Amino acid sequence: MQKLPLWRTPLARLYDSRKRILVTGGAGFIGSHLIDRLLEQGHEVICADNLFTGSKRNIEHLHGHTRFEFMRHDVTFPLFVEVDEIYNLACPASPIHYQHDPVQTTKTSVHGAINMLGLAKRLKCKVFQASTSEVYGDPSVHPQPEEYWGNVNPIGPRSCYDEGKRCAETLFFDYHRQHGTEIKVARIFNTYGPRMHHADGRVVSNFIVQALRGEPITIYGNGQQTRSFCYVDDLVEGFIRLMDTDSAVAGPINLGNPGEFTIRELAEKTIAMTGSKSELVERPLPVDDPKQRQPDIAKARAQLNWEPSIALEEGLARTIAYFRTVLPELVEA
C-alpha cells in the first residue's frame, strides 16, 4: 500500500483548532482540490461558486460530508457569512472562458476582491487572493521575480483577466495599508492535474484530450514559447503554507514549478505518454501570448519552505489517467 505524504494524511484536530473557511470558486479545478485538503485537516468549509466555469462534478464526492457546505453565489455580489478565513479563487482562468464575457471577468476580479476584502475587514480575518503569473504579461525579465512590475497590454483581449487581477492585488494591498486587513497574495503559474475542464483551452488539457482522441495536436506559433507546469497538489500545499504564515508575510509570492519546457516538448511528451498517433499542427500565435513564463520561487523557498515535488512526467501520468475516465467517448470505448 502506497504511503501518503504527511500533508495528505487526515489529521485529528482538537475542536478549538477547527476553522470555518470560505473558498470562493471552490467548485473549480484548483478550488476543489484546496477544499479536499482543508477538509482532510479537519476544518469546516463553505464553497461559494456560481458554476460559470466550476462544476458540481468536482465536488460531488463531498455530498453529505458533515463539514462541507455548497452555496451557489456570484462574488460580484456581497456575501454575508461568518468564517475564520477566506480563500478568494473565484474567476475564470482560461482565455476561452475569461474572454467569453470580458466585462464580467473584470467585475469578478475587482468587485469580487472588494466584497471579499469587505467581509474580511468586518470579520477581522485573513483573506487569501489567488492572483496569477499573468500580471507579468509578456515578460521582459526571465525568470519572473515578484519585484518585476510586468509588461501588460491594458487594452488587449487578455487584459480583462491580466488587469483585473492586477487591480485585485492593488485592492488587497490598499486594504492592508489602510485598514490593517491581514492579506495573503499568491501569484499562480501554470497549474494542471485531475479535474481540469476538458474544453478550457489550456495547453495541458488541450494536448491530452487531442492525443487521447487521436486528433491533430494544435501548437500555436512554432511551439518554442516556454511554460512552467505545476501539479495541483504542490500548488495547494503552497496555498496552505502561505495562509499559515504570520501577518508579516503578505506576498505577493510566486507559486509554480520552475522547470521550464517548450510547448513543443510538452506536446511530444504527451503523445509519447498516451501512445497516441496524433500529429502536430501549427496555428497562428494568439495576441499578447507570452513567449516565456517561469517563476522565480526564491521567496517561496525562503518564507514558506516550499517548492514543488511532483515532476512533470508523474503529474502528466495522473492527469492522463483522469481524462481517460471522464471523456465520454473513451469511457464507452
Active site positions, annotated: 161
- Pairing state of beta strands 191-192 and 217-220? unpaired
For residue 46, give the H/E element and its range.
strand 44-49
Nearest to 316 by CA among 198, 208, 199, 190: 208
Tally Cβ neighbours within 10 Å of residue 20: 16
CB 235, CB 211: distance < 8 Å: no
243 Cβ contact list (under 8 Å, min separation 6): 85, 87, 126, 128, 184
Query: What is the Cα–Cα distance from 117 to 111, expressed in whole angstroms?
Result: 10
Which residues, 6 or more positions from 1, have their beta carbon under 8 angstroms from its beta carbon? Answer: none
User: How far apart are the two ends of the chain, measured CA to CA in Å?
Assistant: 30
Using DSSP, state whether 324 is helix, strand or coil: helix
Distance CA 182, CA 176 (A): 6
Q: Is the dihedral of CA 156, 157, 158, 161 positive or negative?
A: positive
* For helices 312-326 and 203-213, angle between their N-to-C axes, nearest 10 degrees: 60
Task: Sort residue 79 into left (φ over 0), alpha (ψ -120 to 50) or beta.
Answer: beta
> What is the Cα–Cα distance from 71 to 78, expressed in whole angstroms?
13
Q: Which of 192, 158, 145 is nearest to 311 (CA)?
A: 192
